[in-house]
Amino acid sequence: MTRLLLAALLALSALSSPALAVQPDEVLPDPALETRARTISQELRCLVCQNQSIDDSNAPLARDLRILVRDRLKAGDSDDKVMEYVTDRYGDYVLLRPPFKATTLVLWIGPFAVLLLGAAGTFLFLRGRRGVAAGADTAPLSADERRRLDALLRKDD
């Protein structure tokens, strides 16, 4: 029983640890260049996983992008030049933090617009239900309507 519990805890700890997607064959021999590559890789979105950086993703495309970043750094590009090269090829969508400009306006304003529309819809829905629940538009039953309703209700018994 203790071994089973220990195995389960070990499995859970392995699942909760961060993904080490960078393969040993990708690591640059120069520690300064490798640090720069890791910093840049943490800023770029995996186009397959979408909400993971290429540094964290095991997808083949993320690996290709990590290698591309390292190749550009080895060629002597600055960090900004590497980011410019990648965004020229893949667009601002590849950035985990896209810049605020006309082409990315929907990314920045969209969530707030959806939230506002949802709040307005909820308000209108609740306001409409309040009027129905209070019976604002209903008149009391006439004597004839009351008799017919009583007759219908007695039929079901």
Q: Are residues 23 and 89 in the same domain?
A: yes
Confidence of residue 155 (pLDDT cuts 50, 70, 90): confident
Domain assignment present for 118: yes
Q: Are residues 49 and 74 in the same domain?
A: yes
Domain interval for residue 74: 19-94
**Taking the complete model, does pTM exceed 0.75, yes or no?**
no
Confidence of residue 129 (pLDDT cuts 50, 70, 90): confident
Domain assignment present for 140: no
Q: Are residues 88 and 31 in the same domain?
A: yes
Domain assignment present for 32: yes
Domain count of the chain? 2
Confidence of residue 134 (pLDDT cuts 50, 70, 90): low
Confidence of residue 8 (pLDDT cuts 50, 70, 90): low
Sign of CA dihedral 80, 82, 88, 93: negative
Residues of the chain above pLDDT 90, percent: 35
pLDDT at 87 over 60: yes
CATH number of domain containing 89: 1.10.8.640
- CA-wise closest residue to 71 among 61, 80, 82: 82
Q: Are residues 82 and 124 in the same domain?
A: no
Domain assignment present for 109: yes
The answer to whether 17 touches 11, Cβ cutoff 8 Å, is no
Domain assignment present for 35: yes
Confidence of residue 128 (pLDDT cuts 50, 70, 90): confident
Residues of the chain above pLDDT 70, percent: 83
Domain assignment present for 5: no
Q: Are residues 78 and 104 in the same domain?
A: no
Domain assignment present for 144: no
Q: What values do phi and psi take at 45, rounded to 5?
A: -80, 135
**Which position has the higher pLDDT, 155 or 134?**
155
Domain assignment present for 33: yes
pLDDT at 17 over 50: no
Q: Are residues 49 and 85 in the same domain?
A: yes
Q: Are residues 34 and 84 in the same domain?
A: yes
